[in-house]
Amino acid sequence: MTLSAFLLSVLSGNTPHAHAADPGSDTMHLHRTPSPTVDDEELSRCKAYRKSFPGTEIALPAMALRNRAIAKWVRDHRVTIDVHTGEELATALAAGVRLQRLTLHADALSESDLHAAVNLGVGRVVAASVQQIELIRSVVAKRAQDVVVRMTDVNTPVLSTVGVADRVPAGFRFDSNESDTAIAAVLDHEWLNLVGLHCEVGSQDHDFVSYPAAIGHMITEMTQIRRRDGVVLTRLGLGGGRAVPSGDWAIELPELASQIDESLDDACATLRYPRPLVVLSPGLAIVEHDAA
């Protein structure tokens, strides 16, 4: 089923996803019997995580919205949602999340799905290749679209392997011709707004190994963009496997928050760059981890 057809079926209430937005529905999940206890525990983890990062925007994964309690909390508190596939976009829309609260990561979308999603008017699109940016440029018509450019560690390959044969962009290496081309392609379009950069921190080939390293590179790149293009970027996105600690959240989450804040303060002070909003994307591990 195409994304357009899937969205139409969701918005007409003909798929299980649509029940996520219905407060009176007994269907909360696609693949398991709903359990109030499990739902409450997952919501508690989301609340605890968000409370640990008071100065940071937390972007929850769209599939967490299959939990009806989380979906209601997201709507009530205007939480940002990360979307990576057409199905996740449909899930977010069925859960009643406003388009402006959605961040669409384009790297796993087909051209047709990306085309349909941009036409809907999602809040932000995270682009990881020049081809994605060119497609966004071709779709946007007389309506401003915020764009975030995904970056990767300068010492790692531009492409990462996914599955068996598929290779997808992992982002642009810092201080490279490719990143300069991508940024110029966004800035040169009258309807595209470059609002920030995003990178992953984790154990994958293209990830940064630590938050201080990632934040230092990101602020350096933002400073160069300000000097060269006269544009101040205001969003700094951090994702990856290290966003959700494996130990005691009561100890490790405050430590992580402190590490991010101190690294950001140091980088911004050193380069005299205005502090951007940090957007932390913990992924599905936020509802899978048993917080202590």
The pLDDT > 70 percentage for the chain reads 79
Tens digit of each residue's pLDDT (9 = 90 or more) over 78-117: 899 999 999 999 999 999 999 999 999 998 888 888 888 8
Print burial letters for 61-91: b (CB count within 10 Å at least 16), e (below 16).
Answer: bbbbbbbbbbbbbbbeeebbbbbbbbbbbbb
Give yes or no for a contact between 239 and 191, defined as CB atoms under 8 angstroms apart.
no
CA dist 180 and 80 (Å) reads 28
pLDDT in tens, 113-159: 888 888 899 999 999 999 999 989 988 877 899 999 999 876 655 44
Is the confidence at residue 161, as pLDDT, over 50? no
- Report the predicted TM-score, pTM, of the whole model to 2 decimal places: 0.84
Exposed/middle/buried for residue 289 (C-beta within 10 Å: 0-12, 13-18, 19+)? middle
Q: For the segment 221-241, what is each residue's pLDDT rounded down to a tens digit?
A: 999 999 999 999 999 999 987
